[in-house]
Amino acid sequence: MEMKKYLRTVLILGIMLVCQPAPVLGKEYSEGYRIVINIPRHSLTLFLGENKIKTYPVAVGKPGTATPVGSFSIYNRAVYPVWHPRSKDPVLPGPDNPLGVRWLGFYRGYGIHGNNDPASIGKSVSAGCVRMYNYDVEELYSMADIGVPVKVEYQDLIDIVDEGVLMVYCDVYERQKGFRNSITRELEKTGILDKIPEKKLECLFHALSKKPVVFSDKWVLMVNGEYLTADTIYDRTMIFVNADDLNSFFGICIEWDDRNNTGKLMGRPVSAYKTGDNIYASIADVAGIIGGKLSAVPDIEELNYSINFVKLDGKFLTSGVIDFTTRPGIDASLIGADGEGYVYIDNLDKEGFRYNIFSRKGYIDVFSPGYQG
């Protein structure tokens, strides 16, 4: 009897979750939270007024089941939602439930929710909903209440990320007429169209059919799929990257060693060039010291650096992070936390630490008790 009551409650909640009517849209909150989802960029950005709070990676609808574009608002919410697939039994919260740990409905059964497949984040694979990492949607849920505006966009596929460098996102729903011509015009404006060899240019356009690409006349460094820099030097055997860019992002300190006429990092030598006041360090040597994995795509001159890491009080701590996309943890001894083995990041507040997970960029900021930087 109790089980029947439970299933009846589950069914009612599921109907409320999926079958709500379209919301009546209110005015934009100039001083409150608002959400902007960009489909080609696979991103969800939370704003407070005009201030950007955080950008999260998301999965969106595949071409046959596109995520709806328009202005909406959060009209229902659920903790540990029940999934009601068509013509199937309800799926209760747990590892088999693709809605994950939170639900934020924004339009006629479409919602922002967690996941049970972290590898899908950053792709166009859903039935139209917007998936997030579970820890990200928990964070968003704590700020996005009923009525918070949600704007879903299909725009800004071309972005000037540096001088003479264009980041171009894949036209996943093939809605951009004359897209190649638009890119070519932007390349002409930046003055680099004639600097990119024709063979490389064709390879870049071909790669764009499957993933975002960076148009540059130099090798570019991507970290966890995100653009970091095109300020590089290629000497046919090694790729050297502007040390200031690496130092700023990773919280490391690559210096010039006058005695040995090379670079150094954490007391170890790093192959490097020095041109004026700038140091260019071998990214292979840097990866050999701080960890991570490098892979190159020579035909488009793209170097991909896969690394999940933690910074403590702004300085590089470790790349020994476990379960980054589900429940990140690090060696407890690195931060003097109680106990042995690994400590989960979401338990650090019990130790007096603060933390912020930047899942889109692949790292975690941790701050010691009392740290004011």
| Distance of alpha carbon 225 from alpha carbon 157, whole angstroms | 16
* CATH classification code of 2-153: 2.40.440.10
In the chain, what are the domain boundaries? Answer: 2-153, 309-367
Q: Which pLDDT score is estimated for 139?
A: 98
- What type of residue sits at position 302? E
Which backbone phi and psi does 68 adopt, to 5 degrees?
-65, 140
What are the pLDDT tens digits along the chain (373 aa)?
444 444 444 434 443 444 343 333 334 444 699 999 999 999 999 999 999 999 999 999 999 999 999 999 999 999 999 999 887 899 999 999 999 999 999 999 999 999 999 999 999 999 999 999 999 999 999 999 999 999 999 999 999 999 999 999 999 999 999 999 999 999 999 999 999 999 999 999 999 999 999 999 999 999 999 999 999 999 988 999 999 999 999 999 999 999 999 999 999 999 999 999 999 999 999 999 999 999 999 999 999 999 999 999 999 999 999 999 999 999 999 988 766 789 999 999 988 999 999 999 999 999 999 898 7
Q: Which pLDDT score is estimated for 253?
A: 98
| Distance of alpha carbon 95 from alpha carbon 100, whole angstroms | 8
| Distance of alpha carbon 332 from alpha carbon 337, whole angstroms | 5
203 is catalytic: no
The residue with tokens 């000497």 is: 235
Please give the C-alpha separations between residue 280 and each of 110, 210, 244, 270, 339, in angstroms, as whole numbers: 47, 31, 8, 10, 41
| Distance of alpha carbon 177 from alpha carbon 74, whole angstroms | 32
206 is catalytic: no
**Of 42, 84, 129, 203, which one is the catalytic site residue?**
129
If phi over 0 gives left and psi between -120 and 50 gives alpha, with beta otherwise, what is residue 268?
A: beta
Residue spans of alpha helices (H) in the chain: 2-18, 134-141, 179-190, 198-207, 243-250, 283-290
Q: What angle do CA 118, 124, 126 make, to 5 degrees?
A: 70
- What type of residue sits at position 117? D
> In sequence order, what are the beta bridge partners of 272?
281
Q: Which pLDDT score is estimated for 236?
A: 84
Helices 243-250, 283-290: crossing angle, 10 deg rounding: 20
Q: Which pLDDT score is estimated for 87?
A: 76
Q: Which pLDDT score is estimated for 6?
A: 40
| Distance of alpha carbon 231 from alpha carbon 241, whole angstroms | 6
Q: What angle do CA 92, 97, 99 make, to 5 degrees?
A: 110
Q: How many CA atoms lie within 13 A of 185 on its CB side?
A: 6
**Of 113, 170, 203, 253, which one is the catalytic site residue?**
113
| Distance of alpha carbon 45 from alpha carbon 35, whole angstroms | 6
